[in-house]
Amino acid sequence: MTTLKETALGYESSHILNIADLKEVSIDLDVQEDNEVEFPYKFIEIESKRYRVPSSVLINLKVLLDDNPNMSKFKVKKIGEGMNTSYTVVPLI
């Protein structure tokens, strides 16, 4: 049995990061989906950390890949907060 103190000291928040938190992203990463939550979301996992992938990022990425199918990496710039958040996908060479 574990004490409350031991549980509290070992606790790590299940905070979901955002793809915009990464310096660069490979287009070859596996996308997963968490449907077990109130608001399902898509994410990639890097070093056991989940990074949420907003639908608008996927839409922008599709447009870039249509023009440049050889693109291998990109980064995401996040502007705004909450409901006023927008994302810009920037291809990397």
Residues 44/31, Cβ–Cβ less than 8 Å: yes
pLDDT recorded at residue 15: 77
pLDDT recorded at residue 70: 94
pLDDT recorded at residue 69: 93
Runs of H (alpha helix) within the chain = 4-9, 55-67
User: Which residues have a Cβ under 8 Å from the Cβ of 83 and sit 6 or more positions away?
Assistant: none
pLDDT along the chain (93 residues), means of 10: 84 82 97 91 94 96 95 96 93 89
Q: Is 71 exposed, middle or buried (0-12, 13-18, 19+ CB in 10 A)?
A: middle
User: Which residues have a Cβ under 8 Å from the Cβ of 92 and sit 6 or more positions away?
Assistant: 24, 72, 73, 74, 75
